[in-house]
Each structure stands twice: as structure tokens, then as C-alpha cells.
Amino acid sequence: MKRHKIWLSCIGLSLLLLAGCGRESASEDVSRVKTVETQAVATSITEEQMVYYGYVESGSMTKLSFKSAGVLEALYVEKGDYVEKGEALAALDDSDYNIQLLAAQAGVQSIYATLNKATQAYNDAKSDYEDYEKLFAAGSISQAALEKAKLNFNVSEQDLNAAREGYQQAQHNLEALSKSVNELKMTASIEGVVVETLYEANEAVAAGYPVIVIRSEDSVFKASVAQRDLKHLSIGQPVTMRFTSETYEGEITAIGNTPDTATHTYEIEVSINGDVPLGSVGEGTFVIDSYKGIKIPMEAVIKGDTDYVYTIRDGIAVKQSISIEKRIKNELIVSGLQDGDQLVVKGFNRLNDGDHVNILNEEAK
């Protein structure tokens, strides 16, 4: 009986030892599982951008002047008036020009009459000369009579050429004078607002001096760009602009050819699809290139003989070699990963290839 009790005690002790070893082994397995955070990767289009700050200004400020000097007879607009393209704005006194114009018109008519007479005389002399040639060939007239007819024909031809040149010159003078008379009337070359009138009616105006200044209604975004970035820009290139919380689209309409002497930057202009108050300051985002591939955070990459990252497959950490194709700010376009791979973005610095992991973020689970 005593031996039986001793034997049962030994069995019980063995079971307790085995149970204790099992709990210790389970605890050690749990301690070896490492916690990480992951994100699923996928192929996408990534844009490379550059940002420049600028301001909104009127699209154009046009100064209008007369090509001829004269007395300002009429001023049809005032400061602040809105004008349409082609609208009459001002006019110079045209009385002297009208007298010259009437004289030029009369001169053209007179020379035209002379041209008609010279044409008729030429036709008659040509016909006579052709008849005389036939008569001379038949022996009906003398050599002297033929030469006289020829001389008369040559003189009539010279007179006709002179009349033609005179008529052409008179027409040219009339057209030039008519143009000058038309240029005494000023019309708006653009649609916009009159911001300044620099003369009053009955004042003498010098040729080429501004009389009226018009600001166009359209506005543009202006920015100063470094020379190194000019190669990325072109006329018509789309631009996204942000003013406070509002976003507008537009495109590059002008790129400066010469740098600012102080900043050595080049001014560009961008159209704005929308109404933005003049003087507003904002930022313009220019897309200079785009790339297709898998984009990952730069901090997820571990440097070594070869660059690598950790991905998770079936709860196991996998050391994965990658190649960096392009860096854009704090992100990398890489090859070596597949769509849907679970990339370790936190906790990778404690991982080894083959480690068991616990994924903390619910999205990856």
C-alpha cells in the first residue's frame, strides 16, 4: 500500500513538471512575436510637382495714343468706364485732314481722266502703226512715214506709262491720307476698364503720347521662377493655383525671356479660370513629370549592400530586396514589390527575416 502511494506521488509530480514546461514554452513563443504596422501597396500614377508663390494682377494694361499730333476734339469716356473692344474713345480735330482728303480725291479723279486719254491715244497710235507697217510692206508709203508712225506710237506708250504711275501714286497718297484720317479716331483695342484719361478736350496732343489707359478685365497669376526650373515649363502647361481655401485651374500664357536684374528669376504668367481679386497672393503648383509604379515611404527602406524592405506573408516577416526608381520628396517609386503586398512601415527596425509578427493596424488584418 505504501509503495502504491509513492508511485502515485511520482506520477503527479511528473504531470506538474510537464504542465509547467508547457506554460513556459507558450510564454516564450508569445514574447518572440513582434508587433508591426503595415500598409498595402499598389501601382499608381505619381506626379512630380514644383510650387511657386505669386500674386494676381490685371492681364494687361494698354496705353492708347494717336499716331498723329493734333487737338483733342472729343473724349467719349471717363475714368472707371467699362468699354468694349472697338468702342469709340476719343477723336482729334480732322478739319485740316478733311481738306487734304478732298483735294486728294479730286486729284485722283483728274489723273484718272488723264489716264483714260493716254490709254485711248496709245490704242490709236498702236493701231495706226500696225496699219502703216502693212502699207509699207505693200510699198504704199515711204520709210519716213513709217518711222513717224512708230515715233508717235513710242511717245504714246511713254505717256501711258507716266499716266499709270501718276494714277498709282495718287491712289497711294489718297489711301495714306484716308488712313491718317481714320487714325484720328481712337477705339478700344481691348475689352476692359478705363483707369486713366491723360488729356482733356481741346488740348493739344503729341503723336505717340498716351491719351487713355485701359486695364483688361481678365486677371493673371504672376510668379518668379528660378532659371533651373524653366526647362520644366512651357506655354499652355496646366497649373493649379490656391488662394486661401479656394483652388483654381489655369495654364501658362507667357514665360519671360530676360531675368530680373535683382533676383535673377524669370517672370511667368498663368491664366485663371475664375474670378480672383487683384492683389491676391497664392501658390501655383506645376506638374513637371509623372511616374507609374509602386510608391512607398522613404523611411520604410533599410539601407544595406542592397536596399530592402519587410513585407508580411501569412504572419511571417519577409525580407524583400527593392530597386529605387525615383525619389519624390519623402516618397520612393520602387520595383521589386507586387500590388497587394503588406509593407511594414513601423517596427521594421526590430525585424529579422522569418520573424512571426502581430499586425497592429486593423486595416491590414
Structure confidence by residue, pLDDT tens digits, 215-246: 887 889 999 999 999 999 999 999 999 999 89
How many angstroms separate the CA atoms of 7 and 118, rounded? 155
CATH number, domain 60-93+184-217, options 3.40.50.1820, 2.30.42.10, 3.30.420.10, 2.40.50.100: 2.40.50.100
How many angstroms separate the CA atoms of 301 and 294, rounded? 13
Residue identified by cell 510699198 is: 139
Residue identified by cell 527575416 is: 353
The domain ranges of the chain are 49-58+218-288, 60-93+184-217, 94-183
C-beta pairs of 157-161 under 8 Å, 24+ apart in sequence: 157/122, 157/125, 157/126, 159/118, 159/121, 159/122, 160/115, 160/118, 160/119, 160/121, 160/122
Q: What is the pLDDT of residues 324-355, one digit of tens each?
A: 988 888 889 999 999 999 999 999 988 999 99
CB of 18 closer than 8 Å to CB of 340: no
pLDDT score at 66:
92
Q: What is the pLDDT of residues 286-309, one digit of tens each?
A: 998 888 999 999 999 998 888 999
Q: What is the pLDDT of residues 260-279, one digit of tens each?
A: 999 999 999 999 998 898 89
CB of 57 closer than 8 Å to CB of 44: no
CB of 14 closer than 8 Å to CB of 323: no
Residue 361 clears pLDDT 70, i.e. is over it? yes
What's the number of CA atoms in the CB half-sphere (13 Å) around residue 317? 27
| CATH of region 94-183 | 1.10.287
How many angstroms separate the CA atoms of 365 and 361, rounded? 7
pLDDT score at 7:
41
How many angstroms separate the CA atoms of 206 and 212, rounded? 13
Question: 61 has which bridge partners?
Answer: 215
Residue 362 pLDDT grade (very low, low, confident, very high; cuts 50, 70, 90): low
User: In terms of Cα–Cα distance, which of 25, 177, 9 is closest to 101?
Assistant: 177
Residue 125 clears pLDDT 70, i.e. is over it? yes
Strand order in the sheet with 185-187: 185-187, 88-92, 70-75, 204-205
CATH number, domain 49-58+218-288, options 3.30.590.20, 2.40.30.170, 3.10.20.740, 3.30.930.10: 2.40.30.170
Residue 8 clears pLDDT 90, i.e. is over it? no
User: In terms of Cα–Cα distance, which of 60, 116, 107, 55 is closest to 85?
Assistant: 60
How is residue 264 written as a grid cell?
Answer: 535673377
Residue identified by cell 483707369 is: 195
Category of 61 on φ-ψ map: left (φ > 0), alpha (ψ -120 to 50) or beta: beta
CB of 186 closer than 8 Å to CB of 83: no
CB of 57 closer than 8 Å to CB of 222: yes
Q: What is the pLDDT of residues 39-69, one digit of tens each?
A: 999 999 888 889 999 999 887 788 999 988 9
User: In terms of Cα–Cα distance, which of 62, 58, 52 is closest to 278?
Assistant: 58
